[in-house]
């Protein structure tokens, strides 16, 4: 018996129409252009940055903005504009890794499994997520980052010693791993709960029941008939989640638990300028651009992701209208 895949036609058409509607929204289109530009800057930062992020010049510290240094230099004579570009790269990597590993791979997969198979599998996945969600988010992330860092660093150094490959720790890979693992326990539950609810509804529709009767495999039903029909809410949730991940990465680096110097991060740049002491106050008064520049980038990222999420909600969630 051949199954008619009208479910895909019905689901892909609203999705395509939703994307067209999104591009006709001026605010949403502007936000997409801004976010694309920021992420392209992060991806191609080695080609765009005018200087090395670790290049110091102690003869030209705390300089004001000029043609050579658009945002001036910091206390070590490093170009602030260059470090912002590389800091954007850090945020881009963390947001993409957090989205792919936590929300998409883990959250969507567990949501599909819980909503489709139900029963004990659903109860187990949901209970585990509820236990993790009971902890204060940022507190659990801080605890995980603080406890995982020394263990991951020790493991990376052992790998360096045993393989002769140097630079694993200094390259920043360890920092990205620490933040990614710290975000993982909390980044999946919201997406899982959303997908589970959608799957519980979609799995009762006629074309899904027809596929079961025709003997289609569970994998085919999940990825061919159900997943295309829940893609809209997934995109909406991912948009809001990227803003939260970006803010968390900056906050962890600000506390010294995220990316470590000399690799730049927007959170590290904010912490360097806003630290305690009279010197920090002097910098804030005489060179406010040193903190305004990284703060502005963080604000733009979070604000744009939230605006895009609102626009996507209007399109893919009829109840919001």
User: How far, in Å, CA of 4 to CA of 8, rounded?
Assistant: 9
User: How far, in Å, CA of 55 to CA of 158, rounded?
Assistant: 29
Number of Cβ within 10 Å of residue 299's Cβ equals 12
Residue 34: the pLDDT is 92
Give 17's Cβ-side CA count (13 Å radius). Answer: 9
Q: pLDDT tens for residues 15-52?
A: 666 667 777 778 888 888 999 999 999 889 889 988 88
- Angle at CA of residue 19, ends 13 and 23, nearest 5°: 145
Residue 319: the pLDDT is 54
Q: pLDDT tens for residues 141-188?
A: 888 888 888 888 888 888 888 887 777 777 778 888 888 888 877 778
Structural tokens at position 150 = 């020394």
What's the Cα-to-Cα distance from 296 to each of 88, 238, 290, rounded to whole Å?
Answer: 12, 22, 11
Q: Residues of the chain whose pLDDT is less than 50?
A: 1-13, 277-278, 320-321
Give 292's Cβ-side CA count (13 Å radius). Answer: 10
Structural tokens at position 69 = 């240094």
- Domain boundaries, given as residue ranges, for the chain: 7-53+73-320
Q: Is 115 in contact with 197 (CB distance < 8 Å)?
A: yes
What CATH code would you report for 7-53+73-320? 1.10.3720.10
């Amino acid at each position: 018996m051949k199954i008619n895949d009208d479910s895909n036609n019905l689901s892909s058409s609203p999705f395509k129409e939703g994307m067209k509607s999104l591009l006709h929204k001026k605010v949403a289109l502007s936000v997409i252009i801004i976010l694309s530009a920021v992420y392209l800057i992060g991806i191609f930062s080695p080609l765009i940055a005018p200087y090395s992020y670790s290049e110091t010049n102690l003869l030209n510290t705390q300089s004001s903005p000029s043609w050579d240094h658009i945002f001036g230099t910091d206390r070590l004579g490093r170009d602030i504009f260059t470090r912002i570009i590389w800091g954007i790269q850090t945020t881009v990597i963390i947001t993409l890794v957090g989205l792919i590993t936590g929300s998409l791979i883990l959250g969507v997969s567990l949501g599909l499994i819980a909503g489709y198979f139900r029963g004990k599998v659903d109860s187990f996945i949901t209970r585990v997520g509820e236990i993790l969600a009971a902890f204060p988010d940022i507190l659990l992330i801080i605890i995980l980052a603080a406890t995982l860092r020394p263990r991951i660093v020790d493991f990376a150094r052992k790998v360096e010693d045993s393989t002769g490959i140097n630079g694993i720790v200094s390259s920043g890979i360890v920092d990205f791993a620490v933040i990614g693992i710290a975000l993982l326990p909390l980044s999946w539950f919201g997406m899982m709960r959303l997908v589970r609810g959608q799957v519980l509804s979609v799995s009762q529709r006629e074309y899904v029941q027809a596929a079961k009767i025709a003997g289609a495999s569970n994998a085919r039903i999940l990825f061919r008939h159900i997943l295309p029909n829940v893609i809209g809410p997934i995109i909406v949730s991912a948009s809001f989640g990227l803003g939260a991940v970006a803010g968390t990465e900056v906050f962890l680096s600000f506390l010294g638990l995220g990316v470590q110097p000399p690799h730049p991060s927007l959170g590290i740049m904010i912490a360097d300028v806003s630290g305690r002491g009279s010197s920090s106050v002097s910098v804030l008064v005489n060179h406010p651009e040193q903190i305004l520049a990284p703060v502005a980038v963080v604000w733009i990222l979070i604000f744009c992701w939230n605006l895009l999420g609102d626009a996507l909600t209007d399109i893919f969630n009829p109840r919001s209208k």
